[in-house]
Structure 1
Amino acid sequence: MGERVPPQPHPSRITEFAGHPLVVAVVPGQPPVIAATAVSLAEATGAPALYFAHVDTTRYTDEEYPDGTVRHLSIDPDLDDEGWSDREAELVRAVGEWMAGEQVAWQFRYLAGRVDRALTHLARAVDAAAFVVGTHVGRHHRVADFMNGSVSMQLSHRQHRPVLVVPVQVVDWEGRAPWE
């Protein structure tokens, strides 16, 4: 029996931008430039909505629902982690501030588990055209850390939708990139 090959990117698998939402990954403390970029792309492509999503890796998905929401539980059953609802409220507040005055509709999803899988589930559920994510390269990251920990890298290798990566920190040409 042959090795299973997942469906590969192909023109027939493209979700047209027009009329389809975008999934925007968010983390606490994220700069508003990612939301502004997503709004600009949504307006340029006619996307009807933005789905802002945070994936809590300290929790796991217990059940996935057709609208992209999930029921999630703490990885550690002995840990009473009710702080997730405070994180969710903080993120919804931040997104609300970023989206104040914008004409693009938006929703928020608090997801759990592995980031690339959770975001892909949401994109499938809402029939999203693409992802918008920010760079998350800190000062002390190395190439291996960047490649293994990059949400954009994981998404670009595990599903067929385009991934728009928004820089949140740049280095001048004389300086060293964070992974150098």
Structure 2
Amino acid sequence: MAETATGSHGADASDDAFHGAVIAGVIPGQSPRVMKEGARYAKLFGAPLVIVHVDVTRFVTYEDPDGYVHSAPIDIDLSSGETALEDVRASASALLEKSDLVWTVRQLVGDPALAMKHLAEQLDAKLLVVGTRKRGIGESIREFFTGSVAARLAHRQARPILVVPLGEPVSDDEEIWPA
């Protein structure tokens, strides 16, 4: 599971209030398109929106029977995950503060695909929304080693996934993963 409720608008952040939610996986500095599409589908479905940031610098050590997750850092700099969460929370507030949606921001820890899958099961989510990766050699290398979050979600759970294109699309004759 690996999550922490971090604030909400229109409801408390309990799981009951977010049953059947649309979950949008967001990273700091990302285009707001993922959040906007998540909000759009939440409104279409009449569902709450859960915006999640996954702190990949922490991992789950164990989960109590009551659902509380204990985690440990991979990196000694604990502030990096907190800063990222604050960035996501600020972006969500700026985008959604005037909407009538019920929404919350939560932080998960560990592997993004597994953490989002677990939360989706817990909330009985209607839809998962994620963005494509950034273009560039660094992101290509990272994806080579860790895999695509969208692809891993598609193979590990049965809920629908909306993959939102970020940045400029690659033309038909251009390499997707340049050498």
The TM-score bracket by the shorter chain reads: 0.7 to 0.9
5+ residue gaps, structure 2: 1-18
5+ residue gaps, structure 1: 1-18
Q: CA RMSD in A?
A: 2.8
**Cα distance in 2 for residues equivalent to 1:21 and 1:123:** 8
Q: 1:36 corresponds to which letter in structure 2?
A: K
Change (3 A) 1:109 1:62: farther
State the identity as a percent. Answer: 32
1:27-176 equivalence runs, <5 A: 27-47=27-47, 49-64=48-63, 70-76=69-75, 79-140=76-137, 145=143, 149-171=147-169, 173=171, 176=174
- 8 Å contact 1:68–1:126 — kept in the other structure? no
- 8 Å contact 1:22–1:128 — kept in the other structure? yes
**Cα distance in 2 for residues equivalent to 1:142 and 1:40:** 29
Change (3 A) 1:116 1:139: same
- 8 Å contact 1:68–1:109 — kept in the other structure? no
Shift of 1:167: 0.6
Q: 1:21 corresponds to which letter in structure 2?
A: A
Shift of 1:170: 2.6
How many residue pairs end up in the alignment?
159
**Cα distance in 1 for residues equivalent to 2:151 and 2:50:** 20
Q: Rg: which structure is higher?
A: 1
- 8 Å contact 2:26–2:53 — kept in the other structure? yes
Shift of 1:89: 1.6
Shift of 1:177: 4.7
Give a deviation string over 1:81-104, Cα, whole Å, max 9, x none: 233222222211111112121111
**Paired residue for 1:20?**
20
Q: 2:177 corresponds to which letter in structure 1?
A: W
Give a deviation string over 1:115-140, Cα, whole Å, max 9, x none: 11111111112111120001114133
Q: 2:105 corresponds to which letter in structure 1?
A: F
Q: 1:156 corresponds to which letter in structure 2?
A: A
- TM-score computed with the length of structure 1 as normaliser: 0.75
- 8 Å contact 1:147–1:153 — kept in the other structure? no
SS of aligned partner of 1:83? helix
Shift of 1:172: 5.8
